[in-house]
Structures are given as structure tokens and as C-alpha cells.
């Protein structure tokens, strides 16, 4: 089947974006060189569904250098960049995705990248894995395994695995140290504020920012809000995380209390209806909400649309809703991932580490998939360590090495 993209003529702009990323992604460059030499994916089909922008494109090209036949789609209708999709098609890859796809088009793109029969799956949020298990089971025997990029996808996979429904091994890429320590915390922290700032063009200093969820992404989002001069309130459901937020210097309260005082709201929980109709009703006039969690269900958009007596698009990616009580509240990018739907996603150097883990985990699956007994596995320790060592080298930093005596000391109990 031919590629399905918005406009093949946009490829030059996409190619420039990919070149910029390539210059700032030394780990993927090194991995690509290794792959080109060893051809680990020769004769293998790789189907990938990840937010389709320039960093993801570089991951696709890296896998293709290793011999993979690539079938590519996005993982969110609003994060696909049409020029990047065109650049990949120009490079000879099979791509099915466009910005602003309807739910039906999005599902059809997912189906069409799976149709060639993947050997390796690279997923972000679980849409490929769900589709193949629910509608395309005949393709399951050909799948060696897959890699899942994000927390939300892993939660779905864990539920499937508990129910005995997962039919091939999946690697929890998010759980690698070199993924969530850096991508979720520093990547989300920076790119969420990039998305909010470029979309709203408003000052953050002196405002009250409410961050829902104090996991890896929430910590980064709150830390950067503080750096911009905001007063930060955290909402949580986990008492330990709530204490952590307090000790980090933030206020903690339930969402319905925070809703009364917040200027900016960022949800980043992986849960749904975190900001609900009873919260909208008590918000200040002018409150701005956005979401950085994987799905667009963290702000109850259905409830907000039903409640609104008037709506108005205020700027690109900002929709206003007038509530029956008279105040206007605003939502960025329809409640979809703010850093991707209203920005360019994580910084290149961050995705360099995350995608090096993806690429090396995919190689691990090709080389060791048949030996795996578990359906849900962590990124092998040696892959995580290799990525950390490459990154440290790129940063120009050296660390100490244990002497044999120190190693013995650390491994003894009868000192």
C-alpha cells in the first residue's frame, strides 16, 4: 500500500528539521553507524507508532540503516508534523499519518502500518499492541517482540500481562534509568513550559501553577515552573509523593481547592478526569488548563464542552469556554499533550538517550527474542549502562572506577 501523508512536497522542510536533530543526537548517530555495519534488522519489518516529529524520524532512519523495513505512523493525531512525514517518505520509508487525523483516520493509519506483518513493534501508548491483539491476531505469530515508550503504555501492558492476554514479549523502555530519569523529568519539564509559553505568550512569574501528579513528569514540570518564578501547588493521590512535593517546597492540596486559586493547570498523571466539572465551576476567570499526560482524558473535555455556554478560539491552540457562572476558562491543544501538540516535544539531546534505548532494545529483541520466557521485560542492564556511558562520553565527563579492593568491600558483609 502507498504511503498516506498530507503532502509529499513538504519534504525539504522536514529534512532540514531532521538534519538539525541529527547534529544534536550523537548517540543515535553512533548507534546508526553500528547498525549500518552489523545490519541487525536485515530482512525484518519494524512497525513504529511514536509522536511523528523530527527526533522520531531520526530513530526510524537509524533502524532503517540497520536493515529494517520501516512502517511508520504517529501516536497522536495532533503531534504529527506533515513535513517530517514527507521527509521520511522521500527517504523511501512507508508512512501513514497526518496532522489532525480524525479518530477513524488515526485507527486506519494504525491498521495500515501493521498490515505488512511486523517482526518488531515500537509503540508509544499501546495503540499498536492493542490493535494487533484485538483486531489482527493473525499477525501475532510473526511478532518477535516490541518496545513500549511511555508510562501509560506500560500500565496497559501490565494489565494485559496480568490477564494472560499479552501474546509476545514487550520491553518496558520507560522503566530504564536513562529514559525516565531524564526524558520524563527534564524533557517534560522543559518542553511543557516551551509549549505553554509559545502558545499563550503570557508571563509565568508571579502566577500560581497547579501541577496534578508528582511522578517523574510532574517533578520536572513543577521544578521548571518554580524556575520561571511561579508559586507551585501540587495535587496527588499518593501520600508519599505528596510528602516529597512538600519537602521540595511546594504546596499540596486537593484539586477542588487548587482549582479556586490556580492561573495555569498542568495535568500529568496518566489518570482520567483529574480536572473535572466541579473543578471548572470554581476556577478563576482566565484560568488556563493543559495536559502533559499521554491521553487527552486528564482534563474532562467532554464535561467542559457540555458545561460551556459559549466558546471562542482565542489564539492558535487556545480554546476559550464561557461557564454558566460567567467566567472564561481556557484549554491548550484540546487537552492533548501540550509539549507535542503545541510544541516540538522534548529537546533533541533528551530524545537521543530515550531513542538510543529504543534502538538498542529492538536489537536485543531481534538477537534474544526467542530466548525470552517472560512477556514483559525490563531494558537489559547492559543496554541502560551502554547508553549512560555513551552520554557521559558525549558530555565530556569522566567518573571514577572502583579499585578491586573497593569492589570487594562493597560486596562483603563480614567487614
Ligand X SMILES: NC(=O)c1ccc[n+]([C@@H]2O[C@H](COP(=O)([O-])OP(=O)(O)OC[C@H]3O[C@@H](n4cnc5c(N)ncnc54)[C@H](O)[C@@H]3O)[C@@H](O)[C@H]2O)c1
Q: Which among 263-271, 301-309, 385-393, 394-402 is the span making contact with ligand X, rule CB under 6 A?
A: 263-271
Angle of the 381-395 helix axis to the 26-38 helix axis, nearest 10: 130
Residue number of the CB closest to ligand X reads 215
For ligand X, the binding residue among 210, 274, 341, 357 (CB under 6 A) is 274
Contact between 54 and 84 under an 8 Å Cβ cutoff? The reply is: yes
Element holding 178 (H helix, E strand)? helix 177-179
Q: Is 127 in the site for ligand X (CB under 6 A)?
A: no
- A 10 A CB-CB count for 288 gives 23
| Closest among 324, 388, 400, 319 to 357, alpha carbons compared | 388
Residue closer to ligand X by CB (options 85, 337) is 337
Of 62 and 184, nearer to ligand X (C-beta) is 184
Q: Are strands 231-235 and 208-212 parallel, antiparallel or unpaired?
A: parallel
Residue 183 beta carbon to ligand X: minimum distance, rounded to whole angstroms: 6
- Output the nine-digit C-alpha cell for 350: 533528551
Figure out which of the listed residues 217, 225, 232, 319 binds ligand X, where binding follows CB under 6 A: 217
If one asks whether residue 188 binds ligand X (CB under 6 A), the answer comes out as: yes
Q: Confirm or reject binding of residue 78 to ligand X (CB under 6 A).
A: no
By beta-carbon proximity to ligand X, the closer residue of 274 and 387 is 274
Q: How far is the CB of 346 from ligand X (least distance, A)?
A: 6
Residue 262 binds to ligand X (criterion: CB under 6 A): no
| Of 232, 251, 255, 230, residue with least CA distance to 242 | 251
Q: Does 214 bind ligand X (CB under 6 A)?
A: yes
Q: Of 62 and 269, which has the nearer Cβ to ligand X?
A: 269
Contact criterion met (CB below 8 Å) for 91 and 64? yes
Size of the site for ligand X (CB under 6 A): 28
Structural contact between residues 128 and 145, judged by C-beta atoms closer than 8 angstroms: no
Stretch that binds ligand X, among 136-144, 203-211, 291-299, 373-381 (CB under 6 A): 291-299
Residue whose C-alpha is closest to residue 364's, from 348, 350, 384: 384
Residue 240 Cβ, how far from ligand X at the closest point, in Å?
9
With CB under 6 A as the contact rule, the residue among 79, 101, 119, 150 that binds ligand X is 150
* 332 contributes a contact to ligand X by CB under 6 A: no
Question: Judged by CB under 6 A, which of 199, 339, 358, 361 binds ligand X?
Answer: 339
Q: Which residues contact 290 (CB under 8 A, 6 or more apart)?
A: 192, 195, 196, 264, 265, 266, 267, 299, 331, 332, 333, 335, 338, 342
Q: Report if residue 151 touches ligand X, rule: CB under 6 A.
A: yes
> Contact between 337 and ligand X (CB under 6 A)?
yes
Residue closer to ligand X (CB basis): 66 or 74: 74
Site string for ligand X, 222-261 (x = CB under 6 A): -------------xxxx--x--------------------
How near is the Cβ of 354 to ligand X at its closest, in Å?
9
Q: Is residue 300 a contact residue for ligand X (CB under 6 A)? A: no
DSSP string, 236-292: -S-HHHHHHHHHTT-EE--HHHHHHH-SEEEE-SS-S-SB-HHHHTTPPTT-EEEE-
Edge-to-edge strands, sheet with 318-322:
251-252, 231-235, 208-212, 264-267, 288-291, 328-332, 318-322, 310-315
Question: With binding defined as CB under 6 A, does residue 293 bind ligand X?
Answer: yes
Using CB under 6 A, pick the residue from 152, 190, 200, 358 that binds ligand X.
152
CA distances from residue 183 to 105, 221, 346 in whole angstroms, order as listed: 29, 12, 7
Which of residues 33 and 278 has its CB atom nearest to ligand X in the complex?
278
For position 269 contacting ligand X by CB under 6 A, the verdict is yes
Among 126, 270, 335, 369, binds ligand X (CB under 6 A): 270
Bridge partners for 320 per DSSP: 312, 330
Nearer to ligand X, 11 or 214 (CB): 214
- Site residues (CB under 6 A) for ligand X? 150-152, 180, 184, 188, 212-218, 235-238, 241, 268-271, 274, 292-294, 337, 339
Amino acid at each position: 500500500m502507498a504511503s498516506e501523508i498530507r503532502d509529499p512536497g513538504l519534504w525539504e522542510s522536514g529534512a532540514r528539521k531532521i538534519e538539525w536533530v541529527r547534529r544534536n543526537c550523537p548517540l543515535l548517530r553512533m548507534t546508526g553507524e553500528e547498525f549500518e555495519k552489523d545490519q541487525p534488522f536485515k530482512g525484518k519489518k519494524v512497525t513504529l507508532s511514536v509522536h511523528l516529529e523530527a527526533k522520531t524520524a531520526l530513530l526510524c532512519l537509524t533502524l532503517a540503516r540497520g536493515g529494517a523495513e520501516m512502517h511508520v505512523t504517529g501516536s497522536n493525531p495532533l503531534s504529527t508534523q506533515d513535513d517530517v512525514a514527507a521527509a521520511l517518505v522521500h527517504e523511501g520509508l512507508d508512512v501513514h499519518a497526518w496532522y489532525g487525523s480524525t479518530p477513524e483516520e488515526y485507527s486506519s493509519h494504525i491498521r495500515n502500518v501493521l498490515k505488512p506483518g511486523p517482526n518488531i513493534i515500537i509503540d508509544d501508548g499501546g495503540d499498536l499492541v492493542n490493535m494487533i491483539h484485538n483486531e489482527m491476531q493473525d499477525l501475532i505469530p510473526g511478532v518477535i517482540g516490541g518496545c513500549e515508550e511511555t508510562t501509560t503504555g506500560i500500565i496497559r501492558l501490565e494489565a494485559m500481562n496480568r490477564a494472560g492476554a499479552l501474546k509476545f514479549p514487550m520491553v518496558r523502555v520507560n522503566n530504564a534509568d536513562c529514559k525516565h530519569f531524564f526524558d520524563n523529568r527534564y524533557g517534560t519539564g522543559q518542553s511543557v513550559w516551551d509549549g505553554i509559553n509559545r502558545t499563550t505568550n503570557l508571563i509565568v512569574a508571579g502566577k500560581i501553577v497547579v501541577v496534578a501528579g508528582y511522578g517523574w513528569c510532574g517533578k520536572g514540570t513543577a521544578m521548571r515552573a518554580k524556575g520561571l518564578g511561579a508559586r507551585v501547588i501540587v495535587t496527588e493521590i499518593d501520600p508519599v509523593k505528596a510528602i516529597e512535593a512538600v519537602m521540595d517546597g511546594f504546596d499540596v492540596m486537593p484539586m477542588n481547592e487548587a482549582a479556586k486559586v490556580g492561573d495555569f493547570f498542568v495535568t500529568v498523571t496518566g489518570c482520567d478526569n483529574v480536572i473535572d466539572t466541579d473543578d471548572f465551576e470554581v476556577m478563576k476567570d482566565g484560568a488556563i488548563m493543559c495536559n502533559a499526560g499521554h491521553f487527552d482524558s486528564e482534563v474532562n473535555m467532554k464535561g467542559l464542552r457540555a458545561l460551556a455556554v459559549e466558546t471562542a478560539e482565542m489564539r492558535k491552540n487556545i480554546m476559550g469556554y464561557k461557564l454558566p457562572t460567567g467566567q472564561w476558562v481556557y484549554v491548550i491543544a484540546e487537552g492533548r499533550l501540550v509539549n507535542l501538540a503545541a510544541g516540538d516535544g522534548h529537546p533533541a539531546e533528551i530524545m537521543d538517550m530515550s531513542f538510543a534505548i529504543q534502538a538498542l532494545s529492538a536489537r536485543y529483541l531481534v538477537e534474544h527474542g526467542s530466548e525470552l520466557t517472560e512477556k514483559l521485560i525490563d531494558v537489559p542492564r547492559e543496554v541502560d549502562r551502554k547508553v549512560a556511558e555513551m552520554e557521559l562520553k558525549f558530555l565530556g565527563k569522566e567518573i571514577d572506577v572502583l579499585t578491586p579492593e573497593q569492589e570487594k568491600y562493597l560486596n562483603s558483609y563480614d567487614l
